[in-house]
Amino acid sequence: MSLYNQRGVSAHKEEVLAATEKLSKGLFPHAFCKLYPDFLGADSEFVNVMHADGAGTKSILAYLYWKETGNASVWAGIAQDAIVMNLDDLLCVGIYDNIVFNSTIDRNKHLIPGEVLDKIINGTQDFFDLLSGYGVNIHYLGGETADVGDVVRTVAVNGTMTTRWPKNKIITNDKIAPGNVIVGLASFGKAIYESEYNSGIGSNGLTSARHDALSKYYANNFKESYDPGTNEEVVYIGKNKMTDIVKFLNDKFIHEIEIGKLLLSPTRTFAPVFMKLFESHFDNINGIIHCSGGGQTKCMKYMPGDFKVIKDNLFAPPPVFQLIQANSGASLREMYEVFNMGCRMEIYCDEKHAQGIIDTATSFEIDAQIIGRVEADVKKTLEIRIGDEVIVY
């Protein structure tokens, strides 16, 4: 059994999928988000979408860092995580503007004071203000903040996004076909709209990232930060504290960053990039996958046929994933199905359109490259090729 499963988490959410099996798949079953007829406006040329997601267990990392350092600014990053995990899913179906957002914050009031709520709520609005400068308009309508200490050990930060969108501007993934190439967008580095280096960690796999990288110090001093039903052998098995410094070379510069800051890098949104892509390349994009839960295997859920997806030119994993694997000893197979490993967005297109997409991403100082391709097969298969190793899912 993988470390991830031993910690009570599933990369592929098998039980959730089983529970929702009988529910409608929406208008376009292969689309990344569930899309419905326009109940809100009763216009057959529009669709409705309501999407829910959140920062997951990353809020526990913020809690640990805040308790250890007194630095409450990291909570604004958690607000961004909850937003981007919704927004970047919507990008996958072509939606990027005129969106309504409601937040849900569940806290244990004994441990999470008003100072933290202030950072999360105002950090939400600050991030929307930043996005509006790039033409991405999200309207913050408030939400629910609940004191549920009997349910939540520290704090959970989630949100929902709702919008109406023209049906002829939706990406359904139905156009993905053998012969397509896959353009990958890097999750790490420093985009022009980011204020500091982003490790690329995103908001998936943080249960393993936390326990793999951090030491037993946190198990001994912050019992509220993990499920007491978890086997102690997989709880905080790493060597590091949040304030330990990591040094690495990136973009010809030496970076010195606390491990806590690496693990807490706010999830990068690709919304400014996709706004430009949808203006100039919409008809050239056959599909988009957000490599979130399930990491590099996420694409298998949305393929419209029995295709083999081959990824043989992924980015070299950035330092945060090297750190996690060095601490845990996890196999490459587990790493690539839990984490994005440095590539969080995949765009499927004909090869002749790939360079234009790459150029748009790099104009925002985001690395992009062809990471793989789609081939015909007798069943849905994914091959990830890393050096001489071939991992088949």
Low-confidence ranges of the chain (pLDDT < 50): none
Tokens of 363: 């104009």
| Kind of pairing between the strands at 307-311 and 381-386 | parallel
Between CA 110 and CA 112 the distance in angstroms is: 6
DSSP letter (8 states) at residue 183? E
Q: Which of 331, 77, 20 is nearest to 199 (CA)?
A: 77
Between CA 288 and CA 302 the distance in angstroms is: 9
Q: Any idea which fold 3-195+265-392 has?
A: 60s Ribosomal Protein L30; Chain: A; (3.30.1330)
The reported pLDDT for the residue numbered 251 is 65
The reported pLDDT for the residue numbered 9 is 67
Cβ–Cβ < 8 Å for 237, 212 = yes
| End-to-end Cα, the chain, rounded Å | 16
The reported pLDDT for the residue numbered 1 is 57
The reported pLDDT for the residue numbered 4 is 56
Between CA 382 and CA 317 the distance in angstroms is: 19
Between CA 353 and CA 121 the distance in angstroms is: 40
List the domain boundaries for the chain: 3-195+265-392, 206-255
State the Cα torsion 298-299-304-306 to the nearest 10°: -100
